[in-house]
C-alpha cells in the first residue's frame, strides 16, 4: 500500500521503517526541517524497559497535591480553563485505582520489554550507531522510606519477568563510581543490567536515512492541517507547504503526531485522550571532567535521569501539565543543573549547559494508543508519554503487524 506516516519523531520514523520493510510505499510528513526535532530531540536517552510503571498509581494524587505549590516539582499540575486537561485529569484519577495500576503496569512493561528486543534486533540488522551504551540503568534513592518502597516494587516487577536487583549504597558506587561524590546521601538502589541508553535524535535521523535508502520518502517543512474523511475511510490529508495549500492522498494513514494528535483526530470523531507532559532537559559538555556518570542513572527523589551520550551528559526529567506552550521555565531548568552539580560536582563544564523542553504525549494510563480506528485505513501510534524512545521500535513493529492483519508478537491491547 501507499502509506502516509504523519509525524517525523522517533515513533513516526520507526513506524516508517517497519512499514517500508514490509514492502509498503511509505512517505513521512512533518512540519520540521528533519527527523526528531521536537519531542525526540533532547530527551533523557534511557531505554528504560524495566521502569515502565505508569505515573497513575495509588500514591500519585497525594504527591501531586503536595507539589502544587512547588515551581520545581517533579510533576507540576497547572489548572487551566481547558476541557482537555480536566478530562485527562479525571481519567488519570481513575487510572490510579490499584486494579487499573496493575493492568497498566503489565501493559506498559510487556510493550517496553518487547520494544527493547526489537531495538536489539534492528541494531544487529543495520549496525545503526547512536551513542548507545548497554550498561544498564541504576535507580538510586536518597530517602530510606522511598528505598524500602522501591525494594517492594522491585519484588513485584520480578514477578512480571523484569530483572531488578536491589543494591546497597556501596554496591551502587561499585556499579557507577561517579556516585562516590554523593555516597553519604545514598539509601540504596535498584539496578537493571539489561536496560540501555542512547541518543534518540541521532537514532531517528540515522534510521530516517536508512529508510530513505529503502525507498521511503520524507516531506519535511509540511504542516498537516486536517484529515479529510470520506465514509468509512480517510480520503486525504490537507497540508500547507511553502505557503501553498494542498491535499496528500494514500491508501492508509498513520497518526504519529504525539501531543498534537488530538487536534487532527477530534474533528473526525476518533477518541484520543492525549495531553502534553512538558519535559525539560539539560545537556552538559563533559570536557576534561571525570565525574560524569557512565551508567545511566535515575534520581528517584527528583524524578530525573542522567545519561552519558558520547562527550555529553544529558540530564532530563520533570513533567508539567500546562497545555501546549513550549517556553522554558527558568526555575525548572536551573533545578536540573543545580541537582546535577550537587550530586556530581565534577560532572562537566558548568557554563556549557544547554536547556531544552518538549511536549511528551501522555495518556492517563501511560499505555500508548496503537492500532485501528473507526476508519478502515487510519491507524494510531501515539500517546507514549515519557516512554516514546523506550517503546518506539516495539510499537512500530506491532503497528506494522496490525496494518498487515498479522497478530503482533507481544501481549498488548492494541486499539
Paired with 230 in beta bridges are 233
Residue 86, classed as helix, strand or coil, is: helix
Q: What interhelical angle do 388-403 and 10-21 show, nearest 10?
A: 30
Alpha carbons 48 and 386: distance in angstroms, whole number? 10
Q: Identify the CA nearest to 279 among candidates 381, 367, 386.
A: 386
CA angle 66/68/72 to nearest 5° reads 100
Place of cell 501546549: 324
Q: How do the pLDDT tens digits run along the chain, 415 residues long?
A: 999 999 999 999 999 999 999 999 999 999 999 999 999 999 999 999 888 888 888 888 887 777 766 766 667 777 788 899 999 999 999 999 999 998 998 999 999 999 999 999 999 999 999 999 999 999 999 999 999 988 988 887 787 778 889 999 999 999 999 999 999 999 999 999 999 999 999 999 999 999 999 999 999 999 999 999 999 999 999 999 999 999 999 999 999 999 999 999 999 999 999 999 999 999 999 988 889 999 999 999 888 999 999 999 999 988 888 899 999 989 889 999 999 999 999 999 999 999 999 999 999 999 999 999 999 999 999 999 999 999 999 999 999 999 999 999 999 999 9
What's the confidence (pLDDT) of residue 256?
98
d(CA 379, CA 175): 43
Other C-beta atoms within 10 Å of 265: how many? 21
Residue 163: what pLDDT? 83
- Backbone phi and psi for residue 20, each to the nearest 5 degrees, phi listed first: -65, -35
**Residue 310 burial by CB count (10 A; 0-12/13-18/19+): exposed, middle or buried?**
exposed
At residue 63, the pLDDT reads 78
What is residue 69's predicted lDDT score, i.e. its pLDDT? 63
Return phi, psi of residue 96, to 5°.
-80, -10
The pLDDT value given to residue 409: 96
Amino acid at each position: 500500500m501507499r502509506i502516509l506516516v504523519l509525524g517525523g519523531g522517533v515513533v513516526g520514523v520507526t513506524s516508517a521503517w517497519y512499514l517500508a520493510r514490509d514492502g509498503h510505499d511509505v512517505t513521512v510528513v512533518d512540519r520540521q526541517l528533519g527527523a526528531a526535532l521536537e519531542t525526540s530531540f533532547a530527551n533523557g536517552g534511557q531505554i528504560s524497559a524495566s521502569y515502565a510503571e505508569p505515573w497513575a498509581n495509588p500514591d500519585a494524587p497525594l504527591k501531586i497535591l503536595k507539589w502544587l505549590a512547588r515551581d520545581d516539582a517533579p510533576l507540576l499540575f497547572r489548572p487551566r480553563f481547558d476541557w482537555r486537561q480536566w478530562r485527562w485529569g479525571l481519567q488519570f484519577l481513575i487510572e490510579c485505582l490499584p486494579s487499573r495500576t496493575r493492568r497498566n503496569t503489565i501493559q506498559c512493561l510487556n510493550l517496553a520489554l518487547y520494544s527493547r528486543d526489537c531495538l536489539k534486533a534492528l541494531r544487529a540488522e543495520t549496525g545503526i550507531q547512536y551513542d548507545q551504551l548497554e550498561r544498564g540503568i541504576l535507580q538510586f534513592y536518597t530517602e530510606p522510606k522511598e528505598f524500602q518502597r522501591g525494594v517492594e516494587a522491585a519484588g513485584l516487577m520480578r514477578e512480571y519477568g523484569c530483572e531488578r536487583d536491589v543494591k546497597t549504597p556501596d554496591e551502587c558506587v561499585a556499579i557507577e563510581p561517579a556516585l562516590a561524590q554523593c555516597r553519604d546521601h545514598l539509601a540504596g538502589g535498584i539496578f537493571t543490567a539489561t536496560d540501555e541508553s542512547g541518543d534518540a535524535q541521532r537514532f531517528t535521523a540515522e534510521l530516517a536515512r536508512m529508510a530513505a535508502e529503502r525507498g521511503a520518502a520524507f516531506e519535511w517543512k509540511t504542516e498537516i492541517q486536517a484529515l479529510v474523511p470520506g465514509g468509512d475511510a480517510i480520503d486525504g490529508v490537507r497540508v500547507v507547504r511553502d505557503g501553498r495549500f494542498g491535499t496528500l492522498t494514500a491508501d492508509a494513514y498513520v497518526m504519529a503526531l504525539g501531543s498534537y494528535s488530538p487536534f487532527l483526530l477530534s474533528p473526525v470523531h476518533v477518541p484520543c485522550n492525549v495531553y502534553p507532559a512538558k519535559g525539560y532537559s539539560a545537556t552538559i559538555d563533559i570536557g576534561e571532567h571525570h565525574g560524569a556518570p557512565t551508567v545511566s542513572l535515575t534520581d528517584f527523589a527528583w524524578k530525573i535521569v542522567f545519561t552519558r551520550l558520547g562527550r555529553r551528559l544529558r540530564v532530563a526529567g520533570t513533567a508539567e501539565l500546562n497545555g501546549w506552550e513550549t517556553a522554558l521555565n527558568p526555575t525548572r531548568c536551573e533545578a536540573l543543573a543545580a541537582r546535577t552539580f550537587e550530586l556530581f560536582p565534577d560532572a562537566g563544564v558548568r557554563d556549557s549547559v544547554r536547556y531544552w523542553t518538549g511536549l511528551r504525549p501522555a495518556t492517563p494510563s501511560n499505555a500508548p494508543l496503537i492500532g485501528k480506528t473507526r476508519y478502515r485505513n487510519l491507524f494510531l501510534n501515539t500517546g507514549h508519554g515519557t516512554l516514546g524512545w523506550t517503546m518506539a521500535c516495539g510499537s512500530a513493529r506491532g503497528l506494522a503487524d496490525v496494518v498487515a492483519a498479522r497478530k503482533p508478537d507481544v501481549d498488548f491491547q492494541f486499539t
